[in-house]
Homo-oligomer: A and B are copies of this chain.
Amino acid sequence: MSNEIPRATVERLPRYLKCLEQLIQHKRTISSTELAHLANLSPAQLRKDLSQLGSYGIRGVGYDVEQLQGEIRRELGLTRDWPVIVVGVGNLGSALAAYGGFGNRGFEIAGLYDVDPDRIGDNIQGIEIRSLDRVGRDVAARRVAIGIITTPAVAAQSTADVLVAAGISSILNFAPAVISVPSHVELRQVDLSTELQILAFYLQSRSGESAPRPRDDEP
């Protein structure tokens, strides 16, 4: 069953998928060591993760790139199109509405919502920006399951409340604000500074400016 896969493994699947997508034009098979290297993970971790999907590779050959890609896509639920709505059509919302990386991964922007009367009625890539009041009816009619919040931080919680009331069961929050949702709703928080923090680590360690590390006592 899909839901027996550990959360940490699920979170690594998009990374494996991305590596495989980049490989597919160049290679038919790949060893676990090579794929782990591309994904910046240990081969043991990769083999354990993929074994959760029932993918063990072939001894002496490795994984079939196309087959493994198909298995991960199926496991992630990317073999169908998921309608997604975006609430808050400022710069970030507009960018996501036009982002080239969603369509080919099984996500379709089904609606854009805002509360600003000046924005309502405009359209982005052919999708009309509608009043947030409409979201309840639209979610039911289009069977939308995923809502993306790209409002200012102060509006993030009230937007989440509206989405939950509308029947949305999965929320992706880009606003730099901590929000809470009922336990039946799946919430993911995107922090756009995460990758910058990782870059800062390597910059610091390269420049040798790392502060001496205080050892904690009492294990």
A8 and B197 form a contact (CB under 8 A): no
B186 and A202 form a contact (CB under 8 A): yes
A203 and B94 form a contact (CB under 8 A): no
- Interface size bucket, A side? 35 or more
B194 and A14 form a contact (CB under 8 A): yes
A74 and B211 form a contact (CB under 8 A): yes
Chain A interfacial positions (CB closer than 8 Å to B) = 1-3, 5-8, 10-11, 13-15, 17-18, 22, 40-42, 45, 53-59, 71, 74-80, 82, 84, 90-92, 94-96, 98-102, 105-107, 145-146, 148, 153, 169-170, 172, 176, 178, 186, 188-206, 209-211, 213-216, 218-219
CB < 8 Å: which of B59, B201, B214, B216 contacts A2?
Answer: B201
Q: How far is the CB of A11 from chain B (nearest CB, A)?
A: 6
> Which residues of the other chain, B, contact A186 by a CB distance below 8 angstroms?
199, 202-203
A77 and B1 form a contact (CB under 8 A): no
